[in-house]
Structure 1
Amino acid sequence: MRKLTFGMNVSLDGYIAALGDDLDWSVPSDELFQWWSDRVGATGLALYGRRLWERMSSHWPTADQQPGATPAQIEFARRWLAMPKVVFSSTTGTVDWNARLVTGDAVTEITRLKAGEGGDLDIGGATLAAAAMRAGLVDEYAIITHPVLVGGGTPFFTSLDRWVNLDLVETRTFPDGVLLTRYETRC
């Protein structure tokens, strides 16, 4: 069975985006950006909710062609384009850039994908990840905590129907006081 990981940048008070979908607080250091790039390069299949897909697909397909693009940004853009993606949305009409669209039940499709062949899965987007969490489909959480309090916005964790016990499997400190904590769900 393929492993499903939910990983995002998170404020210390638990938000993946501040009010108004503001992400300015989560600009990564070069070292953290490389960590995300390596993660994208190793992902077998990325699962995106509509809003995260719109944000990523509006920038990364041409980021490597922008004036002043750094070698790291060029590498990330190429890895992102090559990475297979599934976009879950009932309102998006089409998707490009090595992606396919799923308009039906997300939990059913994620369950099917986890049981299939291939590399591990990454999931992103608050609403999509919340559905996977409630269904008990998330195997790992990669929480990149930034030392900032944003006071509200889109939470990383959603309300759950039951407790989920976790085991800490990795910690790592990045520049600017950013902390990676990775947890696996306890069987």
Structure 2
Amino acid sequence: MRPLRYAINVTLDGCVHHEAGVAPDEELMQYWTDGMKRADAQLYGRVTYEMMQSTWRRPTSGEWPDWMSAWEIPFADAIDRAKKYVVSSTLRGVDWNAELVTGDLRREVERLKEQPGAGLSVGGVTLPLALADLGLIDEYEFVVHPVLAGHGPTLLAGLRERIRLELIDRREFSSGAVAMRYRPRKERT
């Protein structure tokens, strides 16, 4: 069974908005690229899928845009090639190496997890909240940036029940960001 990992950038005050000043530098972009290699596929909700596609899909010309730094290209290549599953009740079709996931969320994600492989990665805000509420996330990875946003969507806002976590890895970056990986703690009875 392959694990489902939730990975996201977050500010010190819990903001997870992509425009909250948490854009990765070269060192962090390499970290995220390495993380892409630990997953067989990406799992997105509609909003995250459309946002990622608008930024990271290789243009039809085959050339990456001028705004993209050379150190961003390995990540762009990795995400462009990655298998993607898109959970949506409004989209009628997807492309960009993607498959539409509809129906019962628990059943469909459990089906994906039962397939052999290294793992699935989920990003975004709304879908991970639903997956956490269902107890389907096997690992949480937060890259906490030394920024106070003061506004915006916050990490797992609205979670129905507390999830106790145990730290399994920690890494500091020269920017002051800290990556922390956690597993849900098995409750002792």
- RMSD (Å) for aligned C-alpha atoms: 1.7
Give the TM-score, by structure 2 length.
Answer: 0.89
- Residues 90 and 103 of structure 1 are in contact (CA less than 8 Å); yes or no, is this contact kept in structure 2? yes
- Residues 10 and 143 of structure 1 are in contact (CA less than 8 Å); yes or no, is this contact kept in structure 2? yes
Structure 2 unaligned spans of 5+: none
For residue 43 of structure 2, what is the aligned residue in structure 1?
47
- Residues 141 and 181 of structure 2 are in contact (CA less than 8 Å); yes or no, is this contact kept in structure 1? yes
For residue 111 of structure 1, what is the aligned residue in structure 2?
110
The structural deviation recorded for 1:96 is 1.4
The structural deviation recorded for 1:160 is 3.1
Structure with the largest fraction of strand: 1
For residue 7 of structure 2, what is the aligned residue in structure 1?
7
Q: How does 1:158-177 map to 2 (within 5 A)?
A: 158-177=157-176
- Residues 12 and 145 of structure 1 are in contact (CA less than 8 Å); yes or no, is this contact kept in structure 2? yes
The structural deviation recorded for 1:34 is 0.4
Residues of 2 paired with 1:76 and 1:3: CA distance? 21
The structural deviation recorded for 1:70 is 3.1
Residues of 2 paired with 1:151 and 1:69: CA distance? 28
Aligned residue type for 1:8: I
- Residues 49 and 125 of structure 1 are in contact (CA less than 8 Å); yes or no, is this contact kept in structure 2? yes
For residue 19 of structure 2, what is the aligned residue in structure 1?
23
For residue 152 of structure 1, what is the aligned residue in structure 2?
151
Q: How does 1:40-79 map to 2 (within 5 A)?
A: 40-62=36-58, 65-67=64-66, 69-79=68-78
Structure 1 unaligned spans of 5+: none
Residues of 1 paired with 2:75 and 2:11: CA distance? 23
- Residues 107 and 131 of structure 1 are in contact (CA less than 8 Å); yes or no, is this contact kept in structure 2? no
Identity %: 39
Structure with the largest fraction of helix: 1
The structural deviation recorded for 1:106 is 2.1
Count residues in correspondence: 183
2:97 matched to 1:101?
no
- Residues 11 and 150 of structure 1 are in contact (CA less than 8 Å); yes or no, is this contact kept in structure 2? yes
Q: How does 1:110-129 map to 2 (within 5 A)?
A: 110-129=109-128
Give the TM-score, by structure 1 length.
Answer: 0.90
Q: Which moved more, 1:118-127 or 1:134-143?
A: 118-127
